[in-house]
Every structure is written in C-alpha cells, then in structure tokens.
C-alpha cells in the first residue's frame, strides 16, 4: 500500500483549489476522479458554466443545436485547463478511478488497470451531489427522462418539455428552454412558488416566466409517468382532480443529494448526518481525525462558491490561524440566472418580519432606472432592508438586470457593516444598474 501525504477524492471546486494550494507548498497530493469527463468537477462540466452559457445563448437567439455545440467546445477547453492546472504540478498525481474507503485512512481505487491501494496522512472528501429522482411509478424508467446533465446534451430542442421541480435548476432551465422556443410546463409539489421570496417578488417572477410562455403548476402531486410511442404522459393531481400532460422530454430537477453511496464509509468511523450528508464540524472535520469533507457532500447550501469557501476554511486550519469556520462565513449571496436575474442576500422582508426585526424598507421598480431604458428591459424591482437602529443593511432582493453583479456589492457592504448611507451616497458610473442605489435608498416606504 502506497503512503501519500494528501488524498483528495473528487475533482470538485474546493478539492482542486486545495490540491493546487498544497502542491505549491511542495506537498504531495493524490487526486482521484472517477471520470475523465469530470476533471474540474461538476460546475465546469455539467452545471454552472455550461448552463449559464446556454442561458446566454438562448437570450441571444442562438439556434439550440449550435448553442449545444458551442457549450461542448467551451467545456472541453475548461476541462483540459483544469486537468493541467493539477496534473502539471510536480507533486500532484491525478488518478482516474473510483475511490472507496477500506479503513479510516486507507482507500482503494478501482482503475482500468486494477485496484490500487493508498494510505493518506490527510484525506479530503469532495465527491459532490447527484440528482434526486422522486420515486414516482414510471419516472425513473421513462425513455424521456432528463437530468440537468442530459438536458444540456440534447441534439435537438424538445417541443414540449415538462420540468418536475421549480427550484434553482427548474427556473433557470424553464426560462432557457422557453427562450430557445420550447413549450415548458413546470410542476412542483410545493404549495407556493418561490416560497422563500417575498410575495411581490415571487409574483413578478412568475408573471415574467408566464410571459415567456412557461406554465407554472404549484401544489400538484405527480402520480405516474407512462411512455407512449415517442412521448411521455404524466398524470398528476391538482385541486383533487386528476390531470394529464404530454411531454417530449421530462426534466427532473428535484434537488440533489450528497454522493456518499459506495464510498465505503461503513469501513470507517465517518458518520453521516440525518440528511445523508457527511457529518462535519465547523472546521469541516469529519468524525475521523485528519479526514475532512468539502462542498456538496458535507450538506448545507450547494453552491460552487461555498465549496471554494470550504477550501479557505481548511487552508486556515492547515496554514493559517485556524479562525475560519463555517460559522463565520458571513453573508452568502445567491443569484438565480433567469432574465432578469433574481439575486438575494441576507433577509427577505418576510424573514425579517418573522424574526421580529425593526427595519426600514426601501423599494423601487427597475422601470425607474435610466439604464433599464437603455437595455429596453424594465422588468423587476429592488428591495433593501435596513436596521432602524444601526442603519446597516440586513437584506436585499434585487430582481433586475445585472443583479448577479451588484448583489456582491451589497454583500460586501453587509459584511463590512457599512451604514446604508455609503451605498446611497456613493458616486457610481452612469448609466448603470448599481447607480439605482442613489435613488432606492433615499426614502423608506415604511
């Protein structure tokens, strides 16, 4: 059995960044990745970057098949760059194979040339997450079932697409496929559309999706799925009535669960949390010393930038003062990449009310921003909540063009605990969406 200083299982965002960091300090690192098609991990190959590329192409009116070809080229380049970023380091070995634990600090890797065994001084688990497919009769075996991965590999645009799940992927793919010209219906078992958001925002997002041709059916229970000829019939219950809908393809973005199956955890003292994720403390330690878990596999918010932040926490422990933890990440902004993008940080108005916060609410429509006229896109609104006593920002929802950029400025202001007047009185370039803060923050509406 070969002894290695560091083993990273899975070529994910946090793991690859950590591998590079350790290698640049002369440490030996073995990175095990189960598929050469996944060098660089989920984000660059099958998630964030390809989906945002297709969303951009759809908005530009590019033909679907051409957009898919362009996406494939982009991903190939990114994957190659990611592979070399690690493989070209003197002290890094990228090994193709499926890793599983044989003991607390030992792994076996199934490779094309047989089983290879390693003992790691430190082991980092970065195996990501995989789609949930609800156990609905006929769904798993449908010839027309798509995951977000296979939806981005289709040779031609489906005419009728049904999407089961109106969460992040559901929304982004609904808008994208509708913009490419598909007829899209979203089915979700949750009673409320965008339940986390304020009602005014959720209503506006729903209206804009509907204008794009997306049908949204909430509070429905999918009962069965049957293939008929080339198509698929979905039977669901809505208001106690059984309904059917026919689809050419059925995309199922119903959440993603951590990849822990077949990892051999039963051979270790690594415990799982109740949600099936690897149990970690605030330093990302598993229940076995010198074994950490990074990214989606450890549960919590599933974002590439969280996996990257996990790297910072481990770096802080190994080469810093050890103060970084999951508990001091600070505010974590989010963006749903629809048109216009929906971005959020801190509390919504609804959450602030539940928490009993004393806040001032600032609100304005995108239509009042000069840049909106330039962009010929007046859809959306901006909301910001400020603590009445401290005058610091406690939350913002920006449903506006370029919100995925300016939300980061709000997050920074929150992190630095700046008084909101700094954003209000800042000199902004013109015409921009960010200059809307000059007007937004003049007068509270409550």
Ligand X SMILES: Cc1cc2nc3c(=O)[nH]c(=O)nc-3n(C[C@H](O)[C@H](O)[C@H](O)COP(=O)(O)OP(=O)(O)OC[C@H]3O[C@@H](n4cnc5c(N)ncnc54)[C@H](O)[C@@H]3O)c2cc1C
Ligand Y SMILES: NC(=O)c1ccc[n+]([C@@H]2O[C@H](COP(=O)([O-])OP(=O)(O)OC[C@H]3O[C@@H](n4cnc5c(N)ncnc54)[C@H](O)[C@@H]3O)[C@@H](O)[C@H]2O)c1
Active-site annotation, residues: 430
Q: How many CB atoms lie within 10 A of CB 423?
A: 24
**Contact between 299 and ligand Y per CB under 6 A:** no
Give min distance, CB of 286 to ligand Y, in A: 22
**Contact between 47 and ligand X per CB under 6 A:** yes
Distance from C-alpha of 51 to C-alpha of 43, rounded to nearest angstrom: 9
* Of positions 22, 86, 166, 414, contacts ligand Y by CB under 6 A: 166
What is the size of the binding site for ligand X (CB under 6 A)? 36
Q: What does 32 bind: ligand Y, ligand X, none (CB cut-off 5 to 8 Å by kind)?
A: ligand X
66: buried, middle or exposed (CB in 10 Å: 19+, 13-18, 0-12)? exposed
Distance from C-alpha of 69 to C-alpha of 233, rounded to nearest angstrom: 30
User: 401 and 387 in contact (C-beta within 8 Å)?
Assistant: no
Angle at 342 between CA 338 and CA 343, to 5 degrees: 135
**Contact between 34 and ligand X per CB under 6 A:** yes
* Of positions 8, 33, 180, 441, contacts ligand X by CB under 6 A: 33
- Of all residues in this chain, which one has the CB nearest to ligand Y in the complex? 167
* Of positions 7, 23, 32, 222, contacts ligand X by CB under 6 A: 32
What are 398's strand-pairing partners?
343, 382
List the interface residues with ligand X, window 318-347 (CB under 6 A). Answer: none
Question: How many whole angstroms from its chain centre is CA 446?
Answer: 34
Q: What does 164 bind: ligand Y, ligand X, none (CB cut-off 5 to 8 Å by kind)?
A: ligand Y
* Of positions 4, 6, 7, 14, contacts ligand X by CB under 6 A: 14
Could you tell me where the beta strands, DSSP code E, fall in 82-176?
92-96, 98-103, 106-111, 114-125, 129-131, 145-146, 160-164
Instruction: Choose the stretch contacting ligand Y; rule: CB under 6 A; options: 37-45, 251-259, 347-355, 371-379.
Output: 251-259
* Of positions 42, 335, 344, 434, contacts ligand Y by CB under 6 A: 335
* Helix, coil or strand: residue 57: helix
Give min distance, CB of 143 to ligand X, in A: 21
User: 438 and 426 in contact (C-beta within 8 Å)?
Assistant: yes
**Contact between 108 and ligand X per CB under 6 A:** no
**Contact between 222 and ligand Y per CB under 6 A:** yes
What are 381's strand-pairing partners?
365, 399
Distance from C-alpha of 173 to C-alpha of 338, rounded to nearest angstrom: 9
**Contact between 263 and ligand X per CB under 6 A:** yes
**Contact between 193 and ligand Y per CB under 6 A:** no
Q: How many CA atoms lie within 13 A of 127 on its CB side?
A: 25
Helix ranges (DSSP H) in 376-402: none
List the interface residues with ligand Y, window 366-405 (CB under 6 A). Answer: none
List the interface residues with ligand Y, window 48-77 (CB under 6 A). Answer: none
* Helix, coil or strand: residue 225: strand
Q: What does 288 bind: ligand Y, ligand X, none (CB cut-off 5 to 8 Å by kind)?
A: none
Distance from C-alpha of 153 to C-alpha of 249, rounded to nearest angstrom: 13
Helix ranges (DSSP H) in 232-341: 304-319
Long-range contacts of 70-73 (CB under 8 A, 24+ apart): 71/152
Q: At what angle do helices 48-60 and 168-180 cross, to 10 degrees?
A: 30
**Contact between 303 and ligand Y per CB under 6 A:** yes
Q: Name the DSSP letter for residue 278.
A: B
* Of positions 190, 211, 373, 415, contacts ligand Y by CB under 6 A: 190
Nearer of residues 49 and 218 to ligand X, judged by Cβ: 49
Q: What does 296 bind: ligand Y, ligand X, none (CB cut-off 5 to 8 Å by kind)?
A: ligand X
Nearer of residues 303 and 362 to ligand Y, judged by Cβ: 303
* Of positions 10, 120, 167, 346, contacts ligand Y by CB under 6 A: 167
**Contact between 265 and ligand X per CB under 6 A:** no
Q: What does 387 bind: ligand Y, ligand X, none (CB cut-off 5 to 8 Å by kind)?
A: none
Angle at 406 between CA 298 and CA 205, to 5 degrees: 80
* Interface residue list for ligand Y (CB under 6 A): 134, 164-170, 172, 187-190, 222, 253-256, 301-303, 334-337
* Interface residue list for ligand X (CB under 6 A): 9-14, 32-35, 38, 41-43, 47-48, 51-52, 98-99, 126-128, 148, 169, 259, 263, 294-297, 302-305, 307
């Amino acid at each position: 059995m070969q002894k290695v200083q560091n083993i990273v299982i899975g070529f994910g965002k946090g793991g690859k960044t950590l591998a590079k960091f350790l290698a640049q300090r002369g440490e030996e690192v073995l990175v095990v990745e189960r598929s050469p098609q996944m060098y660089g991990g989920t984000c660059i190959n099958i998630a964030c970057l390809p989906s945002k590329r297709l969303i951009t192409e759809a908005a530009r009116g590019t033909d679907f098949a051409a957009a898919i070809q362009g996406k494939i080229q982009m991903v190939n380049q990114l994957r190659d760059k990611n592979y070399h970023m690690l493989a070209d380091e003197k002290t890094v070995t990228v090994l193709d194979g499926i890793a599983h634990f044989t003991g607390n600090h030992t792994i076996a890797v199934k490779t094309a040339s047989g089983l290879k065994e390693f003992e790691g001084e430190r082991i980092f688990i970065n195996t990501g997450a995989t789609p949930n497919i609800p156990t609905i009769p006929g769904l798993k075996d449908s010839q027309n079932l798509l995951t977000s991965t296979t939806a981005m590999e289709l040779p031609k645009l489906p005419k009728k697409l049904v999407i089961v799940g109106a969460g992040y992927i559901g929304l982004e793919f609904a808008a994208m496929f509708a913009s490419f010209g598909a007829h899209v219906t979203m089915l979700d078992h949750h009673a409320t559309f965008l339940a986390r958001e304020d009602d005014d925002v959720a209503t506006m997002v729903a209206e804009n999706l509907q204008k794009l041709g997306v049908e949204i059916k909430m509070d429905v229970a999918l009962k069965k799925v049957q293939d008929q000829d080339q198509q698929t019939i979905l039977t669901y219950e809505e208001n106690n009535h059984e309904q059917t809908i026919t689809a050419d393809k059925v995309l199922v973005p119903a959440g993603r669960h951590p990849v822990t199956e077949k990892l051999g955890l039963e051979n270790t003292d690594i415990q799982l949390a109740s949600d099936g994720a690897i149990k970690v403390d605030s330093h990302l330690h598993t229940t076995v010393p010198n074994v950490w878990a990074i990214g989606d596999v450890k549960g919590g918010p599933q974002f590439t930038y969280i996996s990257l932040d996990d790297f910072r926490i481990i770096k802080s422990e190994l080469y810093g003062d050890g103060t970084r933890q999951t508990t001091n990440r600070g505010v974590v902004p989010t963006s749903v990449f629809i048109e216009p993008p929906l971005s959020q940080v801190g509390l919504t108005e609804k959450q602030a009310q539940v928490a009993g916060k004393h806040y001032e609410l600032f609100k304005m429509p995108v239509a009042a921003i000069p840049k909106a006229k330039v962009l010929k896109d007046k859809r959306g609104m901006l909301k910001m909540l400020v603590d009445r006593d401290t005058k610091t920002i406690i939350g913002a929802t920006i449903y506006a063009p370029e919100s995925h950029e300016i939300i980061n400025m709000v997050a920074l202001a929150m992190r630095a605990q700046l008084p909101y007047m700094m954003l209000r009185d800042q000199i902004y370039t013109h015409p921009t969406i960010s200059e809307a803060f000059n007007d937004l923050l003049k007068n509270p509406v409550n």
